[in-house]
């Protein structure tokens, strides 16, 4: 005979059901009545009597704490992601502006500001108001060593014309000079007849006097003789400086001479050979323009460029020569 045993259910816990927090909210919805009781318990009603908890409620409580912790951690992680994502996410179609952060000591700050190039420093007689042809002549030709005979003769004629014209005026008429003087071919100019000379005189485009025109033709004849004797007009001219350019170191325009003892020596020799209109001033201007002497100011960018192929300055300073002479005299007197 079977016996039916009726198990009594355990008495219900008096404790209220506690809401369990999950990542997405409460798992157990509390009724409105329980909410009201909870709010009533929060009000101060004297000392609270601890309510015994069943093992099941303890487990639920632990689960609630663990769930709340996991919820807090997930919330904090999600909040961090949200804050970090705010830097790149556009709101209402407008991208937020990032705050500027000062560079640290380890970071290298690169200056990306545009570099403004300063104008080249030229000799003081070239200004911003100078003729562009004159500026180009200074930058490309004046002071550059020349060894071509035809080019040397052209610049000799221009140096003679400086007594009546300025460099800008000569350079603006350069093509006319070359046309009337057969591109400065000495052999052709030496054959000019008197009729040809008169035609050059009548043509007032050159603005040269008759003595200057006759000097050009006569110098062409003497140049041919020099070529036969020295092999070239270049060898004759550069022989006075041992075929090495003289290099001065003037800083101011007032220091640049109009003639030198070397120019006087060359002038004397040329006049003895039959050259005309070749005084010391003309000769020194010729020496400057053909690069026999470098008279660019030391502050000019062309000074070093013209000295690029010159190893040493073989021209001693005048004061050094005087000092050396005094030292020799004192040594001789002491003996």
User: What does the DSSP assignment read for 292-329?
Assistant: SEE---TTSHHHHHHTTT-----S--HHHHHHHHHHHH
Give phi and psi for 18, each to the nearest 5. -100, 135
Q: Where are the beta strands (DSSP E) in the chain?
A: 21-22, 25-26, 246-247, 293-294
Q: How far apart are CA 297 and CA 25, in angstroms?
A: 88
How are beta strands 25-26 and 246-247 bridged, if at all?
A: unpaired
- Torsion sign across C-alpha atoms 90, 96, 102, 108: positive
Distance of CA 221 to the CA centre of its chain: 50
Q: For residues 194, 196, 197 and 199, what is the CA-based torsion angle, rounded to 10 degrees? A: 130
The pair of three-digit structure tokens given for residue 4, joined into one six-digit string: 């039916």
φ/ψ (deg, to 5) at 92: 60, 30
CA dist list (Å): 21 to 25, 29, 81, 159: 6, 10, 22, 105
DSSP 232-269: SHHHHHHGGGTTS-EE----SGGGS-S--HHHHHHHHH
69 is in an annotated binding site: no
The number of angstroms, rounded, from the C-alpha of 91 to the middle of its chain's C-alpha atoms is 45
In this structure, what token pair is assigned to residue 27? 């798992």
**243 labelled as ligand-binding?**
no
Please enumerate, by residue number, every residue annotated as part of a binding site for Zn(2+).
Answer: 123, 138, 296, 300
Residue numbers belonging to the annotated binding site: 123, 138, 296, 300
């Amino acid at each position: 005979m079977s016996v039916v045993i009726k198990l009594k259910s355990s008495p219900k816990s008096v404790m209220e059901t506690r809401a369990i927090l999950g990542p997405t909210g409460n798992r157990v919805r509390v009724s409105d009545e329980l909410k009201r009781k909870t709010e009533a318990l929060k009000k101060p009603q004297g000392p609270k009597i601890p309510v015994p908890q069943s093992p099941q409620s303890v487990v639920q409580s632990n689960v609630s704490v663990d769930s709340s912790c996991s919820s807090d951690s997930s919330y904090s992680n999600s909040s961090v992601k949200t804050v970090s994502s705010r830097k790149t996410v556009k709101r209402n179609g407008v991208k937020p502006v990032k705050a500027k952060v000062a560079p640290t000591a380890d970071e290298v700050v690169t200056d990306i500001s545009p570099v403004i190039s300063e104008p080249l420093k030229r000799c003081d007689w070239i200004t911003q108001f100078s003729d562009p042809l004159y500026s180009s002549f200074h930058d490309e030709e004046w002071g550059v060593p020349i060894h071509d005979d035809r080019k040397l003769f052209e610049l000799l004629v221009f140096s003679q014309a400086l007594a009546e014209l300025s460099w800008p005026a000569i350079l603006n008429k350069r093509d006319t000079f070359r046309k009337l003087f057969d591109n400065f071919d000495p052999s052709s100019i030496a054959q000019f007849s008197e009729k040809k000379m008169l035609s050059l005189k009548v043509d007032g485009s050159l603005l040269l006097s008759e003595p200057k025109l006759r000097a050009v033709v006569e110098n062409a004849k003497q140049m041919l003789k020099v070529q036969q004797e020295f092999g070239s007009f270049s060898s004759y001219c550069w022989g006075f400086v041992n075929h090495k350019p003289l290099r001065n170191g003037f800083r101011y325009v007032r220091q640049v001479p109009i003639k030198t003892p070397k120019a006087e020596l060359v002038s004397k020799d040329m006049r003895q050979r039959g050259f005309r209109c070749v005084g010391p001033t003309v000769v020194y201007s010729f020496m400057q323009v053909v690069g026999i002497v470098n008279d660019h100011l030391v502050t000019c960018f062309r000074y070093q460029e013209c000295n690029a192929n010159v190893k040493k300055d073989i021209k001693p300073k005048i004061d050094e020569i005087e000092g050396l002479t005094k030292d020799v005299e004192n040594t001789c007197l002491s003996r």
